[in-house]
Structure 1
Amino acid sequence: MSSTTQTAETTIAVVGGRLVTPDSVLEGGVRIEGGQITEIGEIDADADTVIDADGRLVLPGLVDLHGDDIEQHLQPRSGARMDAAMALASADRANVAAGITTKFHAISFELDEEADRSPELAATMSDAIVDATDLLVDHRLHARCEVTQKRCVEAVLDVLDNGDADLVSVMSHIPGKGQFNDIEAFRSYYENSSNHTAEEAREMIEERMSIPMETIRDRIDRILDRAHECGAVTASHDDENPREVERLAESGVDITEYPITLETAKRATEVGMTTAMGAPNLVRGESQWGNLATAEGIEAGVIDTLVADYHPPSLLAGVFVDTGEPLPERVKRASAAPADAVGVTDRGRIEPGKRGDLIVVDPEPTPMVTNAIVGGKPVYRADATMEVSR
């Protein structure tokens, strides 16, 4: 599903660029008609709108499968809640400026009232995403389910029954497991946040560790089964060992997000799962939690896609981190690969017949988007000297 209702009634020619295609970087242009790419390379520049890339790079629009940055727009500071529609509109502009033209908002169905998270708030945000119109990019729902909490499981099942989620992931933030494989790391994270006291952190540890693993696995299976029935793509979060990904793959999980170790990522690749890692991890050069570094996984050949996580600009910046690979391969991780992973294969590539999602990028000194086209419609311009309408 898409919350974008844009139509493309004009022809667009992007000229004078360096096109990053799936296989190479070409000098030339791109022609878009009826919302689709019709020509690349030496093109007919007679169009309703002509955009002069002026030697800059022309990339396919980026596809972000996991971005929770909307939370920063919903609550820019503790206790200051904004309207859901305003938060979505603000996130929309921030993401297109970062080159993201298809956005899967990772909405957390988690009960943590002190951090202003609840299944009810998640449902409100989900409705806003599904119902939104007249936004710049294609917005979709990635429902993240905290399976240690029964209310959250039931809420995500309702979202799936409504047909609202394109992607659903299961997560279990249990002290001593996954992201918080050190119980003290869990305690420190919540104690040092501005939303929890030491006593509250202790209570959370006791509550989450009291749930039998069999119960957690049963809840995971319920979510996965319902997702498969509804046609949603499935993901797991913070998988910590090869055996865990084996079990999840057997249950039909399509994507592993942020595997904790290199061995886990390698096993995910072996069993046919798509492996997604955070672009901020790659840009910063390390995991925030001391887990697998994205660069290490890329060097081992086991990272398929990058996601924006909490920082949309990092997805574009990650494309330009030198991993020793050709630029088209790096671009693929943020465009074609994530699109293919969730079945939206009409985008993510500069090829005739693909959806007209393009960004013009000035890579130096920091990668910046100067123009964006979504669904064959110019929606963003940051350089007033570039576009000439005829």
Structure 2
Amino acid sequence: MSSTTQTPEATVAVVGGRLVTPDSVIEGGVRIDGQEIAEVGDIDADAETVIDADGQLVLPGLVDLHGDDIEQHLQPRSGARMDASMALASADRANVAAGITTKFHAISFELDEETDRSPELAATMTDAIVDATDLLVDHRLHARCEVTQKRCVDAVLDVLDNGDADLVSVMSHIPGKGQFRDMAAFRSYYENSSNHTAEEAQEMIEERMSIPMETIRDRINRILDRAHERGVVTASHDDENPREVERLAESGVDITEYPITLETAQRASEVGMTTAMGAPNLVRGESQWGNLATIDGIEEGVVDTLVADYHPPSLLAAVFVETGESLPERVKRVSAAPADAAGFTERGRIQPDKRADLIVVDPEPTPTVTEAVVAGQPVYRADATTGESQ
């Protein structure tokens, strides 16, 4: 996986900020030795590099467990495919500007040629992520497996065997289930995507509904078993009822993404699953599909983490949506909580001995990242006056 390089002896100090620690907001600074935070609070600012936060907020770098925004860089216009490495480099810059310092690219292993998705393209993107060097943030693979398609299941099993994934999720986009539990919603989504005709949408409905549920569950178990053998965190997608999350939890699924109803999210919490909801849902105030609103889940205490989904800037903006919680609690949902859920407990918080991923944020009028440090290395700076990055 990609990472920044850092001279072990290098020292960095971030001074003059309002630090959002796990428990409170304090005035002070952060001293960094190598890739780790050495001191927090009233620090010695004698360092090789000094960053003046100038009264702005200093947050831990954001951790995004599910972002498919790289697809917008890979194919910015229908039929206009860009090179995978170029797309990754472009996404890299966009994500660090949004405050994301650990990015799990949700790559869809799904066969849908009209939307330019295929297991072969997913494998190409996997190689780009695994082989990338000299990028600004830490890039990881979240392999999303469409279990209604055998080719995709086999491809994800290969990815797991190769040790390329840090997170794998199972999804079944079946008409009448999950995100598309309304048959008309499935047909409308694909017919109106500008990539499918009505006849093609109908063919997809017939193909996916022809697969026995027993076959789908067998494929899910194969993916989960292989992931567990490799020590990879697992997730499910668009769970629609309490019984479904109970069954998935019994199979060892760690994370439920975008549960459809509040009752489903509540049951997931009761059985010990981490619940991830979309930050754009919170920022917009509603689900795009009329499903559970993120704010309702937060108010009921069943949302553990937020993900960027299709819009990286929403992950930072979500921190400043009023939920009745303290700022550290809101920050935790986009930093320490997702880091812990992925098994990356060494990052996501401003504490000594933790990985030095930090962002300096000007909250007004729109939350904006003005500086970013990844693994102890200053990698991004935006001039607050001109808006130009340096």
Give the shorter-chain TM-score range.
over 0.9
**Counterpart position of 2:21:** 21
Q: How does 1:222-237 map to 2 (within 5 A)?
A: 222-237=222-237
Give the counterpart letter for 2:282 in structure 1: L
Q: Distance in 2 between matches of 1:322 and 1:142?
A: 29
Query: Which residue is 1:298 aligned to?
Result: 298
Q: Matches of residues 53-92 of structure 1 in structure 2 within 5 Å?
A: 53-92=53-92
Q: Deviations over 1:236-278 (max 9, x none)?
A: 0000000000000000000000000000000000000000000
1:140 is matched by which residue type in structure 2? R
1:3-152 equivalences under 5 Å are 3-8=2-7, 9-152=9-152
Q: Deviations over 1:64-98 (max 9, x none)?
A: 00000000000000000000000000000000000
Where in structure 1 are there 5+ consecutive unaligned residues?
none
Amino acid at match of 1:67: G
RMSD over aligned CA atoms reads 1.0
Distance 2:222 2:2 in 1: 27
SS in 2 for 1:354: coil
The CA deviation at 1:34 is 1.3
SS in 1 for 2:55: coil
Q: What is the CA deviation profile of residues 268-296 of structure 1, one whole-angstrom value per residue up to 9, with x for unaligned ones?
A: 00000000000000000000000000000
Shift of 1:384: 7.1
Q: Given residue 220 of structure 1, which amino acid in structure 2 is its aligned partner?
A: I
Partner Cα distance (1:370, 1:203) in 2:
49
8 Å CA contact 2:98–2:313 kept in 1: the answer is yes
Shift in Å, 1:10: 1.5
Residue in structure 2 matched with residue 182 of structure 1 by the alignment: 182
Superimposed CA distance per residue, residues 131-185 of structure 1 (whole angstroms, 9 cap, x where no aligned partner)? 1000000000000000000000000000000000000000000000000010000
* Alpha-carbon distance between aligned partners in 1 of 2:5 and 2:242, rounded to the nearest angstrom: 43
- Give a deviation string over 1:328-375, Cα, whole Å, max 9, x none: 000000000000001101100000000010000000111000000000
Q: Distance in 2 between matches of 1:339 and 1:18?
A: 22
Hey, what's the Cα distance between the residues in 1 that align with 2:103 and 2:237? 18
| Structure 2 contact 4–137 (Cα < 8 Å) conserved | no
Measure, in 1, the Cα distance between the counterparts of 2:28 and 2:6.
26
Distance in 2, matches of 1:176 and 1:257, equals 18
Q: Distance in 2 between matches of 1:49 and 1:384?
A: 19
Q: Give the letter for the 2:215 counterpart.
A: T
**Length-normalised TM-score, structure 2:** 0.98
Alignment of 1:243-254 (within 5 A): 243-254=243-254
Match of residue 365 from structure 2: 365
| Runs of 4+ deviating beyond 3 Å | none
CA–CA distance in structure 2, aligned partners of residues 325 and 105 of structure 1: 29
Instruction: Tell me the CA shift for residue 7 of structure 1.
Output: 1.5
Percent sequence identity is 87
Match in the other structure for 1:263? 263
Q: In structure 1, the residue corresponding to 2:13 is in which secondary structure? A: strand
- 2:165 match: 165
Q: Distance in 2 between matches of 1:120 and 1:319?
A: 36
Q: CA deviation at 1:5?
A: 4.2
1:308-329 Cα offsets, whole Å, 9 max, x none, are 0000000000011000000000
2:350 equivalent to 1:350: yes
SS of the residue 1:15 aligns to: strand
> Which residue does 1:287 correspond to in 2?
287
Give the deviation of 1:383 after TM superposition. 1.9
Asked if the contact 2:153/2:223 (under 8 Å) is kept, the reply is yes
**SS of structure 1 residue aligned to 2:379:** strand
Secondary structure in structure 1 of the residue aligned to 2:216: helix
User: In structure 2, how many angstroms separate the alpha carbons of the residues matched to 1:36 and 1:209?
Assistant: 51
Partner of 2:259, secondary structure, is coil
Letter in 1 for 2:2: S
Letter in 2 for 1:121: L
Q: Report SS of the residue matched to 2:87.
A: helix
- Once residues 380 and 264 of structure 1 are traced to their aligned partners in structure 2, the CA distance between those partners, rounded to angstroms, is 40
SS at match of 1:127: helix
1:86-128 deviations in whole A, cap 9, x for unaligned?
0000000000000000000000000000000000000000010
Name the TM-score, length of structure 1 as normaliser: 0.98
Distance in 1 (CA, whole Å) between partners of 2:193 and 2:357 is: 39
Partner residue, 2:202 = 202
Once the two structures are TM-superposed, the CA of residue 55 in structure 1 deviates from its matched residue by 0.4
Shift of 1:35: 1.0
Q: What SS does the corresponding residue of 2:311 show, helix, strand or coil?
A: coil
Distance 1:140 1:181 in 2: 31
Counterpart amino acid of residue 287 in structure 1: S
Match of 1:239 in 2: 239
SS at match of 2:65: strand
Q: Residue type matched to 2:140 in 1?
A: R
Provide the secondary structure at the position in 1 that maps to 2:219.
Answer: helix
Paired positions, count = 385
